Structure 1
Amino acid sequence: MARMKFLCDAERCIECNSCATACKAEHDVPWGVNRRRVVTLNDGVPGEKSISVACMHCSDAPCMAVCPVDCFYRTDEGVVLHDKDVCIGCGYCSYACPFGAPQFPTNGTFGLRGKMDKCTFCAGGPEANGSEAELEKYGRNRLSEGKLPICAEMCSTKALLGGDGDVVADIFRQRVVQRGKGSEVWGWGTAYGKPAQPQGGHGGAVKAEAKAEVKS
């Protein structure tokens, strides 16, 4: 079974916001809620980059850990969804999420801001696939139709990748290698780097050569 993941290639993102616009149009997202948004890093200085951010559907999701009513759940494909019928709008998930994915639909006082809303990876909710209830609460279920999330499909430069995590990782790896980059790419060592050499590896050989030179 595929594990669905998002990845945004900062070298390709041109901050056109087509991903965010497509998401709002496809799911009729409430005013004030942005399931996906484009964030600019180092704005106005050398090295400025833009990335598209939404729920990352974490394998160990903090929103699930802090929800007092367990309204969050994970599908067989690894998509993190939530049940709005169970949600009490406490906002704990919004504080726990490092990506700011869960959001209140309105701006009333505490307790009057409604149920939380978040990116669904275009996978709907707990209602029957393609039902009117699912469409009204969570938007269109594109995954049940055999399609990828609308944000990834509408990305003009293919900076935003969404789908099977292994396939997404392979595409990004090939891109980075073709660019002639590797270790300087953020996160590259963690994702694709080799384990550190043991003490008896190259480091041990260098030390042995140094000792030999001293003895001679």
Structure 2
Amino acid sequence: MARMKFICDAERCIECNSCVTACKNEHEVPWGVNRRRVVTVNDGVVGAEKSISVACMHCSDAPCMAVCPVDCFYRTEDGVVLHDKDVCIGCGYCSYACPFGAPQFPSEGTFGVRGKMDKCTFCNGGPEANGSEAEFEKYGRNRLAEGKLPLCAEMCSTKALLGGDGDVIADILRNRVIKRGKGGDVFGWGTAYGGVKAQPAAGTPPAAPGAAPTAPAAPASEGSAS
């Protein structure tokens, strides 16, 4: 059985927000709720700006499921984390526990009205009958039941956002990363640690400032004269 996951390639994301728009349009998401959003770090800094599309990551050990006092969250056979709005009491514990800010309160009126929590469903609907009006009204369209993948991933113009079987999309990203570099820099080691500097051998005096590095002396062979 497939285990559904999302992966966003930060090297390809161009912050076009097509994934956000596709999600809101497909599921008629309530006002004030963004099941998916694009987060940008180092915004405006040339060469350092990175964007990533964020939603519910459908964790294997989901913290929202652990803290929910009424157990309204459940996991499907495909590994998709969903919740039952008929059981939800709107306490908000899940929104505090989720590191991605996926569960959200719908906002209506001047100050907002707390109601049933809403979150990304991986386009998998809810506990109601697949394709029913009740399911669409509460959770949006069930594309997985139609044999389709989440629309946010399908609408990504640069294919930065990948959604589907976790093993398949991990292989896709792995192949991309391998083609971008070589050695340890493939996984960003040089970026994270600023390169690896060679350490001088024990007993070697420090070089004078500005002096050219010298090659280490070859070790004496066994039996040589002292």
Give 1:64's aligned residue: 65
Check if 1:12 corresponds to 2:18. no
Taking a change above 3 Å as real, the CA distance of residues 62 and 187 of structure 1, as seen in their structure-2 partners, is farther
Distance 1:185 1:178, change over 3 A: closer
- Write the distance in 1 (CA, Å) between the matches of 2:61 and 2:158: 30
- Decide whether the 8 Å contact of 2:180 with 2:186 is kept in 1: no
Residue 87 (structure 1) aligned with residue 88 (structure 2)? yes
Deviations 1:136-161, CA, capped at 9 Å, x for gaps? 00000000000000000000000000
Deviates more, 1:105-114 or 1:74-83: 105-114
- SS of residue paired to 2:19: helix
1:120 aligns with 2:129: no
Q: Report the Cα distance in structure 2 between the residues aligned to 1:215 and 1:75, rounded to whole angstroms.
A: 68
Tell me the equivalent position of 1:42: 42
Gapped regions of structure 1 (runs ≥ 5): 189-212
Cα distance per residue 1:38-71 (max 9 Å; x no partner)? 0001223342100000000000000000000000
Using structure 1 for the length normalisation, give the TM-score: 0.83
CA distance in 2, matches of 1:102, 1:49: 24
Number of residue pairs the alignment of both structures matches? 192
Identity among equivalent positions (%) equals: 85
Question: Residues 136 and 24 of structure 1: is their aligned pair in 2 closer, same or farther, counting only changes over 3 Å?
Answer: same
Structure 1 position 184, deviation (Å): 4.2
Q: Corresponding residue for 2:176?
A: 175
Aligned CA RMSD, in angstroms, stands at 2.3
Structure with max Cα Rg: 2
Take 2:5 and 2:188, find their aligned partners in 1: how far apart are those partners? 16
Counterpart of 2:211? none
The offset of 1:178, in angstroms, is: 1.2
2:145 matched residue in structure 1: 144
Instruction: Tell me how far apart the structure 2 counterparts of residues 187 and 123 of structure 1 sit (CA, whole Å).
Output: 34
Residue 84 and residue 25 in structure 1: after superposition, are their counterparts in 2 closer, same or farther (change >3 A)?
same
Taking a change above 3 Å as real, the CA distance of residues 185 and 97 of structure 1, as seen in their structure-2 partners, is: farther
Unaligned segments of structure 2, at least 5 residues = 190-218
Q: CA 1:2–1:155 in 2, change beyond 3 Å: closer, same or farther?
A: same
The change in CA–CA distance for 1:181 and 1:129 in structure 2 (over 3 A counts) is: farther
Residue by residue over 1:45-99, the C-alpha shift from the partner in whole angstroms, topping out at 9 and shown as x without a partner, is 3421000000000000000000000000000000000000000000000000000
TM (norm. structure 2) is 0.79
- Are the aligned partners of 1:152 and 1:161 in contact in 2 as well (CA < 8 Å)? yes
User: Could you tell me which amino acid in structure 1 is paired with residue 157 of structure 2?
Assistant: S
User: Which of the pair is proportionally richer in helix?
Assistant: 1
User: Deviation per CA, 1:166-195, whole angstroms, max 9, x where unpaired?
Assistant: 00000000101111256446689xxxxxxx
Is the alpha carbon distance of 1:16 and 1:63 closer, same or farther for their aligned partners in structure 2, counting shifts above 3 Å? Answer: same
- In structure 2, relative to structure 1, the CA distance for the partners of 1:132 and 1:113 (3 Å cut) is same
Could you tell me which amino acid in structure 2 is paired with residue 127 of structure 1?
E
